[in-house]
Amino acid sequence: MKLIHWSYTRKYQVKSVFDMFPDTVVVFRQINGYYFINTMKGLDPLGLPSRKHYVQMEYLINKELGTLPAYKNRRALQKKESS
C-alpha cells in the first residue's frame, strides 16, 4: 500500500488517500503525539478495508508525518498489556 496524497484539515486532523482505496478519504486525528484513523468517507461496501489495512494506513501516515516513534511505542504498550 502507498500513500498517494495527504493534507492537513482543522483540529489536528489529516485527510489522506491510499492507492488500494483511491475513492476513499481517510481522516486521521492526532492524540498523544501520533495519528490514528478517525473516519473514512467514500467506502465501497464490496471492498472494505481489513484490520491489516487500517494498521498499514496508520503506519504510513505516522511515518510520513514524523510521528512513527510515538505510534510504535503505543503499539508496543498494547501488546504488553494484552499478554
- The predicted structure's pLDDT at residue 78: 63
Span 14-19, average pLDDT: 96
pLDDT category of residue 46 using cuts at 50, 70 and 90:
confident
What is the CA 7 to chain-centroid distance, rounded? 13
Higher pLDDT, 82 or 63: 63
pTM of the shown model: 0.85
Compute the distance between CA of residue 36 and CA of residue 49 in angstroms, rounded to an integer.
15
Helix axes 68-82, 51-65, angle to 10 degrees: 140
- The predicted structure's pLDDT at residue 45: 84
| Contact call for residues 10 and 29 (beta carbons, < 8 A) | no
Q: Which of 7-11, 26-30, 63-67, 77-81 has the lowest mean pLDDT?
A: 77-81
